[in-house]
């Protein structure tokens, strides 16, 4: 579904991504883990067109995204839930969702309303708060709103940038349940996380990004068992292995 070949990207002269190649198949959850500054957000920004790739291809269902402006990408079925939610704080919850349905404009109002009801069914709290300013929601509610907004346009691939940041562990669980639910409904998810443990538990496959390069890839459960991953991203040090605690 999504194929990335030798992608290079960055900010001005600063090259962040150095020849990243990866793929995401239909119906799977793929996670990208890595430390701060590894290039995770840069990768998602480049796929969604906010940053221009300096080299390489991004093929989404056979179409090359790397030359498209950002607003042309959601109508193809590829949406990003950005880092830090980025909701429209001064607009109501319902308006936020309707704006997410912008790519459906041509298919008519009926479809838009149907999608709206679907998101309300998925996130009942949003229905309760539909007329509230989005900026008054709690962090978890804002994350749900950002996800609902992205789902409004009936995407086939949904990219999520650090959905668990700043949320209480219980809420993080809720969010990840929704992510699994989305996959079960046939959507494809590309998940970027610093919370590697939780991400690898729900994902099918994973990539480990380090200073702009893919250093490791594989099945999620294999990565969970990998000694290097454990040490670097799951908070266990070498001592734990020698003591046999792991």
Query: What is the C-alpha to C-alpha distance for residues 11 and 208, in angstroms, rounded to an integer?
Result: 21
**Contact assessment for residue 73 and residue 49, using Cβ atoms and an 8 Å cutoff:** yes
| 114 touches other proteins by CB under 8 A | no
Interatomic CA distance for residues 178 and 159, integer angstroms: 13
> Do strands 14-24 and 2-11 pair parallel, antiparallel, or not at all (unpaired)?
antiparallel
Smallest Cα–Cα separation from 224: which of 203, 244, 245?
A: 203
Q: Is 107 in the site for other proteins (CB under 8 A)?
A: no
Contact region with other proteins (CB under 8 A), list: 31-39, 53-61, 148-156, 200-208: 148-156
DSSP state of 180: H
DSSP state of 71: G
Least distance to other proteins, CB of residue 12, Å: 10
Q: If binding is defined by CB under 8 A, does position 102 make contact with other proteins?
A: yes
Residue from 22, 58, 80, 182 touching other proteins (CB under 8 A): that is 80
Q: Does 34 bind other proteins (CB under 8 A)?
A: no
Least CB distance from residue 166 to other proteins, whole Å?
17
For 211, other C-beta atoms within 10 Å of its C-beta total 13
Task: Kindly report the number of other CB atoms within 10 A of residue 194's CB atom.
Answer: 16
Q: Which of 149, 187, 205, 230 binds other proteins (CB under 8 A)?
A: 149
Q: State how far the Cα of 79 lies from the Cα of 152, in Å rounded to an integer.
A: 10
Q: Is 70 among the residues that bind other proteins (CB under 8 A)?
A: yes
65 near other proteins, rule: CB under 8 A:
no
Interface with other proteins includes 41 (CB under 8 A)?
no
Q: Which residues pair with 59 in a beta bridge?
A: 3, 64
- Binding segment for other proteins (CB under 8 A), chosen from 14-22, 78-86, 191-199, 208-216, is 78-86
By the rule CB under 8 A, 89 interacts with other proteins: yes
Nearer to other proteins, 111 or 204 (CB): 111
Q: What are the φ and ψ backbone dihedral angles of 96, each rounded to 5 degrees?
A: -55, -45
Q: Which one of the spans 26-34, 99-107, 203-211, 224-232 is the region binding other proteins (CB under 8 A)?
A: 99-107
Binding site for other proteins (CB under 8 A): 48-50, 70-75, 79-80, 82, 86-91, 95, 98-100, 102-103, 105, 149-150, 153
């Amino acid at each position: 579904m999504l194929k990335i070949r030798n992608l290079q990207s960055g900010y001005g002269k600063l090259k962040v991504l150095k020849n990243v190649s990866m793929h995401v198949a239909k119906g799977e959850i793929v996670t990208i883990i890595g430390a701060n500054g590894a290039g995770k957000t840069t990768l998602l920004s480049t796929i969604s067109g906010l940053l221009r790739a300096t080299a390489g291809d991004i093929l989404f269902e056979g179409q090359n995204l790397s030359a498209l402006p950002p607003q042309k990408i959601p109508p193809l079925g590829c949406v990003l839930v950005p880092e830090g939610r980025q909701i429209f704080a001064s607009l109501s919850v319902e308006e936020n969702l309707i704006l997410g349905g912008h790519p459906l404009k041509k298919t008519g109002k009926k479809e838009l309303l149907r999608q709206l009801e679907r998101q309300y069914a998925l996130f009942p709290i949003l229905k309760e708060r539909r007329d509230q300013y989005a900026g008054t929601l709690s962090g978890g509610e804002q994350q749900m709103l950002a996800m609902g907004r992205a789902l409004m346009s009936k995407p086939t691939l949904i990219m999520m940038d650090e959905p668990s940041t700043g949320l209480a562990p219980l809420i993080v669980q809720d969010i990840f349940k929704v992510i699994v639910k989305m996959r079960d409904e046939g959507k494809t998810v590309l998940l970027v996380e610093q919370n590697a443990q939780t991400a690898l538990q729900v994902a099918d496959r994973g990539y480990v990004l380090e200073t702009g390069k893919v250093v490791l890839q594989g099945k999620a459960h294999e990565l969970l068992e990998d000694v290097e991953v454990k040490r670097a991203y799951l908070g266990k040090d070498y001592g734990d292995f020698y003591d046999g605690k792991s």
